[in-house]
Structure 1
Amino acid sequence: MRERNVVSAQTQLLSTVAPSQSPSFDPDLGVITPPSNGMARSAFARPVAPRARWRRRYLACLVLIDFVTALGASRTVVALLDEADAGFWDQRVLGGAVSAFALVTNLVVPLMWMTVLVAAGAYDRRALGRGTEELKRVARANVAMAATVSFLALGFKKDLSRATVAAIILTLLLYTLVTRALARVVLRRIRRVSQRASQKVLLVGRLSDAMAVHEVVTRNPGAGLRPIAIHLPHHPRPGERVTAPVPVYVGWDLVPLVQQLGADTIAVCGPASLESYELRKLAWQLEGTGLDLVVVPQVTDVTGPRIHVRPIEGLPLLNVEEPTISGLSLLVKSMLDRVTALVGLVLLSPLLVGIAVAIKLTDPGPVMFRQTRIGHEGRAFKVWKFRTMYTDAEQRLEALRHRNESDGLLFKIKDDPRVTPIGRHLRGLSLDELPQLINVLKGEMSLVGPRPLPTEDDDYRGDVRRRLLVRPGITGLWQISGRSDLTWEDAVRLDLHYVDNWSLVYDLGILWRTASVVLARRGAY
């Protein structure tokens, strides 16, 4: 069935090629080859990439939103000042400066803010919808706005109220961050539901490398990359059958092929995809076409500040730093964990008592369930949880082994008969995990980190053992990405990604996303 779908998709794409050309599809190999006369590569032929209408519309909406946001921020500050000082606005009327003041608040501030956003790259198409990168550029623009206002005030010798300037700058930042975050949520929602508003990508490279990239980018449609075809650098070996979820091409010139497919991005996958001189020529050909060229490095699951490009004599070197799993940041993380756990236990004490009473009234047995888990550096500890299963759950485990729906070191059943009725609700909202704040307070766990597993230390072998380099957490990248619906391989990959790239900002982002995942009850059983 899958091969039929691939052939159908390839045949459909063949019909979009100009009639003067006659590319052929080989069903035995599963690839599409170019016309017999080929397509001459010319340095002067510059086909223009298809205009991404979604990007123009999204950019226009952002410009309008940012202008209204800046206007709202300045008007908010004026309203607050007028409320705090009843004569604030009247003084400007009596002084004859009301028109100039209104012009500044209603036009100059918004236009200045828009100009600074443009200068900071907040409208750069490479940053649109990219979350932290987009918000970082907004924050840099806010700092630049404060510096610009201070410089102008000094240059024109204007006596500005520092409190008023600070209030406008901070309100601008807050309003813009909120509206940009909401716009990004809407954009990602559109991408997930309709697959629109995404970059159409041609993957170039060996089939294994291209399929690896295809799997990664299609795992999260909200990221905005949609592979539509694969181009192989070499013809398949005799007898080798090529199957893929998208059409596969071989022997084509890339720029004309991208134009025919309606793509706007070329992604070169793997080190053996193109020779260095071919990659350089391809970059030359893309000048003026509006096409994006992306080179996917061999280094995977490494992001953020650990990656730097260091050019030496025209050779771009990808510098990958060691993961930071110690130092001042780790100390700050530990202190924040314990303070937050202490405050959380105090504030949530009525809820914790209520859950304990509900468990005791609905099922006889202990309220708490304590189990040995493996933690930081392989040290065993007792994890605290509200009991969600019947007291004979361990005795019934062997009889249910054949129904295990998970793999690796996990044991999961979606409709586990050992779970009590009240336990299903607690698990659905992850309320059974709240007592682990005690483990966080004792320093055995963290708020964010890989989940501690009920297994022996000897079970952690090979790369999996890297999970133990950091403290286990109540929530983590695994939990916000699918929880129990993930395979063991995906869970390990996400945990190792967190260990290699963790930071305080990363932790805050995971905590923020945890709330929506818990409320939606995704993968909780």
Structure 2
Amino acid sequence: MEQGGLVNPFPSAHERLANGAIGEPVIDWEERYRRTVIAGDTVSTAFVVASIGNFFGARDAANWHEKWVILAFGTELLVLGALAMGRAWAPAVLGQGAEEFRRLGRSLFTAAVVLALGGIAFTSRNIKLWIFVAIPAIAIVTMTVRYLLRLRLHRQRKEGQCLRPVLAAGSPATLRDLITRARKSPHLGWRVDAVCTTDGLGFDGDRLEGVPVVGRLTDVADHVRRDGYRVVAVTPDPHWSPDRLQRLAWNLEGSDAEMVVAPVLMEVAGPRLHVDAVLGIPLLRVSMPAFTGGRRVVKAVVDRMGAAILLLLFAPLMLLVGLLVLLDSRGGAFYRQRRVGKDGREFTILKFRTMVAGADRARAGLVHRNEGAGLLFKLRRDPRVTRVGAVLRRYSIDELPQLFNVLTGSMSLVGPRPPLPEESAAYGPDIRRRLLVKPGLTGLWQISGRSDLPWEEAVRLDLRYVEDWSLALDTVILWKTLRAVVYGQGAY
């Protein structure tokens, strides 16, 4: 545990076990969390059906036991059965990513369809209530409960609890990237405890980014069985031929370890990535990004309806903010600026004015103080920002008028950040892929740190959204945007 008088901050699972610090087996907290999710879904569903039954059943008390109890109990069983059949409780998807909510939504939709068919078969006059009221209410409550459970799990993981010990095996360069990503995102639940390389060495001798190198790639299965790693992460290396990967999978059978193989296409994931068996050979099939089609129509409808609803809800706040902007400094309440949208078409973006009049002309004298990454111009303490403007920027209130841009179709609720014309003109061919979709009021960039992000990371997030877009991802981003706005991370 000590090297040169210093305590090793990254002990392996074997070292922690030997020193009595490894705690309860990982499988225990995973199963406990799964049981908690199942209990949450069960109680949430029961609460919704009981509430609806009590409210509407009281109007028809004479037939309560004949009708409402049967429908309520049947709905409960149907929903829980759909969740089980839809693998919405699979440990692999619980606690991270959009797949958990995608499976939850798909299962509840299936339950609604079965309810509808049952209502037609039994000519029930009350079935519409359960389809159009009960199921949506169950979706809202269960998703909220799951999100709260996920927040608690993520807090525990940031404290070093509820993590899966990982043995990574591959080339030193790809292993270093994996270790960096795992440490940067502890909420994903991976803790790289040890690595194996081709020659059993890392960049720092017997260590790689502080993680001990415990052996060669041929020793992976032995280390897993001896030290009890939960995940075996295989990263690219010339050593990994199909035969060797298959042999490793066979050797891991019977252990608690999950084998995860990183494909060469590291940034392609989500709904575009499929596994097919062609001539008996497992192949990764990467489908084309969906820039048109039915899902895009649904997204456009949701964008405009959502923008209209939000404008009605925020109308009093926007009126108050407009008055405060006018009283704080000379100039209009709104700021108009040309931005680049889908397919490179320019449009005028609307914001509440947060700077003094003539701020654009004063920018030239501040270029030498630029703190923005890449092509962005940002100052943490910009002298042009007004007192009211600083508060508006802190909580992203200045961006509310962009709902008009969403309503008119030049922007979307979720998408890449809308660039300035001069930024767009400097884009290379790869970065110009950001312009294949409408820019968004919010996006991966906003919920991941905004102006605090390095330029390369901001571009990577935008390109990831373009490549892996889905309605489920949009839903997750909108949900996380609320927390990002409240904390104001990277907003200045």
Q: What range is the shorter-chain TM-score in?
A: 0.7 to 0.9
> 1:503 corresponds to which residue?
470
> 1:232 corresponds to which residue?
197
The match for 2:269 among 273, 290, 303 is 303
1:521 deviates by 1.2
Summarize the alignment of residues 367-406 of structure 1 with structure 2, pairs less than 5 Å apart: 367-406=333-372
Structure 2 Cα separation of the partners of residues 344 and 144 of structure 1: 29
> 2:168 corresponds to which residue?
203
1:54 and 2:21 are equivalent in the alignment: no
**Partner secondary structure for residue 166 of structure 2:** strand
> 1:186 corresponds to which residue?
152
**Partner secondary structure for residue 379 of structure 2:** coil
User: Do the aligned residues in 1 keep the contact of 2:206 with 2:212 (CA within 8 Å)?
Assistant: no
User: Do the aligned residues in 2 keep the contact of 1:485 with 1:523 (CA within 8 Å)?
Assistant: yes
User: Do the aligned residues in 2 keep the contact of 1:264 with 1:291 (CA within 8 Å)?
Assistant: yes
Summarize the alignment of residues 117-136 of structure 1 with structure 2, pairs less than 5 Å apart: 117-136=83-102
1:511 deviates by 2.1
**Partner secondary structure for residue 462 of structure 1:** coil
Structure 2 Cα separation of the partners of residues 6 and 497 of structure 1: 40
The structure-2 alpha-carbon separation of the partners of 1:368 and 1:74, relative to structure 1 and needing over 3 Å to count, comes to: closer
1:478 partner amino acid:
W
Summarize the alignment of residues 405-484 of structure 1 with structure 2, pairs less than 5 Å apart: 405-456=371-422, 457-484=424-451
Summarize the alignment of residues 20-99 of structure 1 with structure 2, pairs less than 5 Å apart: 50-89=25-64, 92=65
The structure-2 alpha-carbon separation of the partners of 1:234 and 1:352, relative to structure 1 and needing over 3 Å to count, comes to: same
User: Do the aligned residues in 2 keep the contact of 1:267 with 1:295 (CA within 8 Å)?
Assistant: yes
1:232 partner amino acid:
T
User: Do the aligned residues in 2 keep the contact of 1:477 with 1:498 (CA within 8 Å)?
Assistant: yes
> 1:8 corresponds to which residue?
8
The structure-2 alpha-carbon separation of the partners of 1:288 and 1:160, relative to structure 1 and needing over 3 Å to count, comes to: farther
The structure-2 alpha-carbon separation of the partners of 1:172 and 1:330, relative to structure 1 and needing over 3 Å to count, comes to: closer
The structure-2 alpha-carbon separation of the partners of 1:253 and 1:327, relative to structure 1 and needing over 3 Å to count, comes to: same
- TM-score of the two chains, using structure 1 as the length reference: 0.80
1:120 partner amino acid:
G
Structure 2 Cα separation of the partners of residues 340 and 145 of structure 1: 26
2:171 partner amino acid:
R
1:173 deviates by 4.5
**Partner secondary structure for residue 360 of structure 2:** coil
Per-residue Cα deviation, 1:115-174 (whole angstroms, up to 9, x for no partner): 55433323322122235322333344445656777999999x998963576466565545
1:259 deviates by 4.2
The structure-2 alpha-carbon separation of the partners of 1:73 and 1:506, relative to structure 1 and needing over 3 Å to count, comes to: same
User: Do the aligned residues in 1 keep the contact of 2:176 with 2:208 (CA within 8 Å)?
Assistant: no
> 1:268 corresponds to which residue?
234
> 2:320 corresponds to which residue?
354
The structure-2 alpha-carbon separation of the partners of 1:384 and 1:231, relative to structure 1 and needing over 3 Å to count, comes to: same
Structure 2 Cα separation of the partners of residues 325 and 203 of structure 1: 36
User: Do the aligned residues in 2 keep the contact of 1:233 with 1:273 (CA within 8 Å)?
Assistant: yes
User: Do the aligned residues in 2 keep the contact of 1:389 with 1:420 (CA within 8 Å)?
Assistant: yes
Structure 2 Cα separation of the partners of residues 178 and 301 of structure 1: 29
1:85 partner amino acid:
D
The structure-2 alpha-carbon separation of the partners of 1:145 and 1:297, relative to structure 1 and needing over 3 Å to count, comes to: same
- TM-score of the two chains, using structure 2 as the length reference: 0.85
2:355 partner amino acid:
M
User: Do the aligned residues in 1 keep the contact of 2:411 with 2:439 (CA within 8 Å)?
Assistant: yes
1:327 deviates by 3.2
User: Do the aligned residues in 2 keep the contact of 1:265 with 1:294 (CA within 8 Å)?
Assistant: yes
> 2:303 corresponds to which residue?
337
User: Do the aligned residues in 1 keep the contact of 2:12 with 2:194 (CA within 8 Å)?
Assistant: no
**Partner secondary structure for residue 394 of structure 1:** helix
Structure 1 Cα separation of the partners of residues 11 and 313 of structure 2: 62
2:192 partner amino acid:
P
> 2:283 corresponds to which residue?
317
Indicate the RMSD between aligned Cα atoms, in angstroms.
3.6
> 2:250 corresponds to which residue?
284
> 1:221 corresponds to which residue?
186
Moved more, 106-115 or 264-273: 106-115
The structure-2 alpha-carbon separation of the partners of 1:59 and 1:422, relative to structure 1 and needing over 3 Å to count, comes to: same
Unmatched 5+ stretches in structure 2: none
Structure 1 Cα separation of the partners of residues 473 and 258 of structure 2: 28
1:6 deviates by 9.7
Asked which structure has the greater RCO (Cα within 8 Å, sep 6+), the reply is 1
> 1:244 corresponds to which residue?
209
The structure-2 alpha-carbon separation of the partners of 1:246 and 1:508, relative to structure 1 and needing over 3 Å to count, comes to: same
The structure-2 alpha-carbon separation of the partners of 1:375 and 1:232, relative to structure 1 and needing over 3 Å to count, comes to: same
1:502 partner amino acid:
W
Unmatched 5+ stretches in structure 1: 20-48
Moved more, 488-497 or 393-402: 393-402
Structure 2 Cα separation of the partners of residues 483 and 207 of structure 1: 31
**Partner secondary structure for residue 87 of structure 1:** helix
The structure-2 alpha-carbon separation of the partners of 1:370 and 1:118, relative to structure 1 and needing over 3 Å to count, comes to: closer
Moved more, 435-444 or 508-517: 435-444
> 1:36 corresponds to which residue?
none
Structure 2 Cα separation of the partners of residues 350 and 17 of structure 1: 59
> 1:512 corresponds to which residue?
479
Paired positions, count: 483
Bigger-Rg structure (1/2): 1
The structure-2 alpha-carbon separation of the partners of 1:301 and 1:367, relative to structure 1 and needing over 3 Å to count, comes to: same
Structure 1 Cα separation of the partners of residues 5 and 340 of structure 2: 46
The structure-2 alpha-carbon separation of the partners of 1:259 and 1:196, relative to structure 1 and needing over 3 Å to count, comes to: farther
The structure-2 alpha-carbon separation of the partners of 1:299 and 1:71, relative to structure 1 and needing over 3 Å to count, comes to: same
1:523 and 2:490 are equivalent in the alignment: yes
> 1:258 corresponds to which residue?
224
User: Do the aligned residues in 1 keep the contact of 2:373 with 2:453 (CA within 8 Å)?
Assistant: no
Structure 1 Cα separation of the partners of residues 331 and 120 of structure 2: 72
**Partner secondary structure for residue 200 of structure 1:** strand
1:238 deviates by 11
Structure 2 Cα separation of the partners of residues 150 and 480 of structure 1: 38
User: Do the aligned residues in 2 keep the contact of 1:323 with 1:501 (CA within 8 Å)?
Assistant: yes
User: Do the aligned residues in 1 keep the contact of 2:304 with 2:409 (CA within 8 Å)?
Assistant: yes
Structure 2 Cα separation of the partners of residues 469 and 202 of structure 1: 39
Moved more, 507-516 or 336-345: 336-345
The structure-2 alpha-carbon separation of the partners of 1:448 and 1:136, relative to structure 1 and needing over 3 Å to count, comes to: closer
Structure 2 Cα separation of the partners of residues 341 and 172 of structure 1: 25
